[in-house]
Amino acid sequence: MKLLRVGPKGQEVPAVVAADGSYRDLSAHVADISGSTIDDATLERLRALDHNSLPPLDNGLRIGPCVNGVGKFICIGLNYADHAAESGLDVPSEPVLFMKATSAIVGPNDDVEIPRNSQKTDWEVELGVVIGKDAKYVNEADAMDYVAGYCVINDLSEREFQIERQGQWVKGKSADTFGPIGPYLVTRDEIADPQNLSMYLDVNGIRRQNGGTKTMVYGVAHLVAYVSQFMSLQPGDIISTGTPPGVGLGMKPPTYLQPGDVMELGIDGMGDQKQVVKQG
């Protein structure tokens, strides 16, 4: 299934994409698409509904973040060898973890704001993994059982704040609007192999990132198991798994987002995002 949340900010209703591509209202069956409604049993109940008989919704409605009430937004750094190289850094010997503030989360097509005093706001298309049940000390062989589904993420970054200022990466990753997620939460049964997905990102119609999850250093199952050794994961938590090469930081000379720029990005089977850049 492709689940989504549509409507004005703070008033989104849960929905499913029917076979004909129309949006159908799920609000009679679940209160929201959130950690409390993406367990296997609830997803199976929603899957069994006759989606074509559900009330239709306007496909032109705003699409909100595909999961509400995210508890943890965990990101993986330098998880593509070629991206590490363009950043001038070595491939890490184990996954690099950092957090992104959940207040950065917005809908997939909402405007992105350049923070005040920013000169180096950058783009990153990433595969997001949405956790479906409590996970703690998980074995890699069992890790996929804890995944509810996947989504597209633009892990926006302010490179000066991230790299040139003191402290950890989180302050370069957490500005308001720096976490567009969606349009869909695509349930794991629809993705045969999360390590074989193509992904792209364009800026002003020019292809900047053109990669695939097959070049990840650490795959989805490894990441879920690895993170669970250091902290418990709860339903609705998101792991953003890293970005392929083509970010602004790696261009010669480095090139960053400006007000009026338009980003378009997507991943196979997961839909597309489009954001207009504004000055915050």
Residues 47, 155 within the same domain: no
In a domain, 66, yes or no: no
Task: Tell if the pTM clears 0.85, that is, is over it.
Answer: yes
Specify the number of domains making up the chain. 2
- Report how far Cα 152 is from the mean position of its chain's Cα atoms: 4
Q: Where does the pLDDT of residue 83 fall: very low under 50, low under 70, confident under 90, or very high at 90 and above?
A: confident
Q: Report the pLDDT value the prediction gives residue 166, as an integer from 0 to 100.
A: 85
Q: Is residue 160 part of a domain?
A: yes
pLDDT at 82 over 80: no
The pLDDT tens digits of the residues spanning 110-146 come to 999 999 999 999 999 999 999 999 999 999 999 999 9
Give the Cα separation of 210 and 80 in Å (integer): 13
Residue 237 belongs to domain with CATH number: 3.90.850.10
- pLDDT tens, 43-76? 999 999 999 999 999 999 999 999 999 999 999 9
Whether residue 276 contacts residue 113, with contact meaning beta carbons closer than 8 Å, is answered with: no
Residues 95 and 17 reside in one and the same domain: no
Q: Report whether pLDDT(89) > 80.
A: no
47 and 185 in contact (C-beta within 8 Å)?
Answer: no
Helix or strand holding residue 222 (H, E)? helix 220-228
pLDDT at 90 over 80: no
Contact present, 249 and 242 (Cβ < 8 Å): no
pLDDT tens digit string along 218-270?
999 999 999 999 999 999 999 999 999 999 999 999 999 999 999 999 999 99
Mean pLDDT across the chain, nearest whole number?
96
The Cα–Cα gap between 167 and 97 comes to 14
Do the domain assignments include residue 110?
Answer: yes
| Residues 196-221, mean pLDDT to the nearest whole number | 97
Does residue 177 form part of some domain?
Answer: yes
- Give residue-wise pLDDT tens across range 154-202: 999 999 999 889 888 999 999 999 999 999 999 999 999 999 999 999 9
Q: Are residues 136 and 275 in the same domain?
A: yes
Same domain assignment for residues 28 and 102: no
Range of the domain at 30: 2-57
Confidence bin at 85 (pLDDT 50/70/90): confident
Answer whether residue 68 is part of any domain.
no
- The beta strands (E) that lie in the chain are given as 2-6, 13-17, 23-25, 56-57, 73-77, 96-99, 105-106, 112-114, 121-122, 125-131, 147-154, 157-158, 179-180, 185-187, 198-203, 206-212, 238-240, 262-267, 272-279
Q: What is the pLDDT of residue 110?
A: 98
Mean pLDDT over residues 11-23, rounded?
97
Torsion of CA 141, 145, 147, 150, to 10 degrees: 80
Q: Is the same domain home to 22 and 158?
A: no
Q: Are residues 191 and 270 in the same domain?
A: yes
Could you tell me if 52 and 95 lie in one domain? no
Over residues 23-35, mean pLDDT: 98
Same domain (yes/no): 32, 103: no
Do 78 and 112 reside in the same domain of the chain?
yes
Tell me: do 43 and 156 sit in the same domain: no
Residue pointed to by tokens 């378009």: 264
Is residue 65 in a domain? Answer: no
Structural domain contains residue 86: yes
Please spell the DSSP secondary structure of 173-195, one letter per residue: H-STT-EEB-S-EEEGGG-S-TT
Q: What's the pLDDT at 84?
A: 74
Evaluate whether 158 touches 122 at the Cβ level (below 8 Å): yes
For residue 64, tell me if it sits in a domain. no
In degrees, rounded to 5, the angle at the alpha carbon of residue 219 between the alpha carbons of residues 156 and 206 is 40
> How do 179-180 and 105-106 pair as beta strands?
parallel
Pair 234, 153 in one domain: yes
Looking at the fold, whether 208 and 113 belong to one and the same domain comes out as yes
The label of the residue with tokens 């900010």 reads 9
